[in-house]
Amino acid sequence: MFNTTAWNRLRYDAYAPIYDAVAERAFRRARQAALGQVHWRPGMRVLLVGAGTGLDLPWLPRDIELHATDLSPAMARRLERRAEALHRDVQAEVMDAEALDYPEGHFDVVVMHLILAVMPDPARGLAEAHRVLADNGQLCVMDKFQADARPAGLGRRALNLVTSAIATDITRQARPLLDDAGFAVEADRPVMMGTLFRALLAQKHG
């Protein structure tokens, strides 16, 4: 039952009312750092995948075309309310990150914050991000990762049984995932809790 898309939909619908209280202030600087690495240009078409309640919205440029998706209808509704309060035009859709309903090469930037460690199959999510990005499009990632140099040890893998059921996987490795999906990492820096949370900017190979 745990770590499935159906479970994620259920639990994020349940978490939606308290999500901002837990995540807004805690991740503010990390998300600002991640979005600050993107090379923004006016008019870019941008997709937030697993956008949650829209905590990225205040830190995004205004002169872009903004789309947002999330698996959880309750999270997406809150995002729509935030967009309205911020007077932002956002096309919000309930959608699985593993099966994006957009054409190939449609976006200039895809943002994946705190979702690669949550979804059951991050490789599929990255394959979809790669597909919908234009050549040389940018992927902006912020999440918690195991160090690239070594796989998670036994203790961490044991703890992961608990964390992945209630919140997040703590054993995934950023660089192998991004490399295998066909991205070239341009920036990679720790942004929170030592090196646990990292902000990465990667480019789709042309």
Ligand X SMILES: C[S@@+](CC[C@H](N)C(=O)[O-])C[C@H]1O[C@@H](n2cnc3c(N)ncnc32)[C@H](O)[C@@H]1O
- C-alpha span between 141 and 130 (Å, rounded): 13
- Residues contacting 121, CB < 8 A, separation 6+: 98
Q: Is 72 in the site for ligand X (CB under 6 A)?
A: yes
Number of residues assigned to the chain: 206
Nearer to ligand X, 44 or 119 (CB): 119
- Which range in 91-99, 151-159, 171-179, 184-192 contacts ligand X by CB under 6 A? 91-99
Task: Output the smallest distance, CB 91 to ligand X, in A.
Answer: 15
Single residue of 34, 51, 66, 83 touching ligand X by CB under 6 A = 51
Nearer to ligand X, 52 or 137 (CB): 52
Q: Is 122 in the site for ligand X (CB under 6 A)?
A: no
Task: Output the smallest distance, CB 149 to ligand X, in A.
Answer: 25
Chain positions contacting ligand X, by CB under 6 A? 5, 8, 12, 23, 50-52, 55, 70-72, 75, 96-98, 113-115, 118-119
